[in-house]
Structure 1
Amino acid sequence: MTAPHLDSALDIIRSVERISTPRGIQKSDIVTLGGVPQFVSIRGTSTRNPVLLFVHGGPGTPLAPTAWMWQRPVEEFFTVVHYDQRGAGRSHGLSDPAEIRDTLQPGQYVEDLIELTEWLLRTLDVSSISIAAHSWGTVVATTAVVKRPDLFSSYLGIGQVVDFTEAERVSFDWLLDEARHRVDLSAQSELQKLEPYPGPGPMDPQKLAIHRSWVGRYGGFAAGRSDCDYFLDGSTVSPDLSATDRAHIDLGNILSAEMLVPQLMDITLSTITQFPIPIIQFQGRHDQMTPAAPVEFWMNSLTAPSKHIEWFEHSAHMPMYEEPGHFLTALLAHIQPWATAAPR
Structure 2
Amino acid sequence: MLTRFLLRRILTSAVQMFALTLAVFFLVRLLPADPVSRLVGMNASPEAYAQAQRSLGLDQPVFTQLLNYLGLGSKSGLLQGDLGVSWLTNTPVVQEIGMSLPITLELLTYSFLVTLIVAVPIGVMSAANPGKLVDKAVFIYGLFGGSQPEFWWGLLFVLIFFSTLGVAPAPLGMIDPLMLPPPRVTGFYTLDALIAGDFAAFADILHHLMLPVLTMVFVLSGPVIKMVRQSMIQAHASDFVLYGTAIGLRRGTLTNYALRAAIAPTLTLVGILYGVMLGGAVLVENVFALGGIGQYAVRSVLAFDYPSIQGIVLVITAISLLIYLALDILYALIDPRVVYS
Specify if TM > 0.5.
no
When normalised by structure 2's length, the TM-score is: 0.25
When normalised by structure 1's length, the TM-score is: 0.24
Decide which structure has the larger Cα Rg and report it.
Answer: 2
Give 1 or 2: higher helix fraction: 2
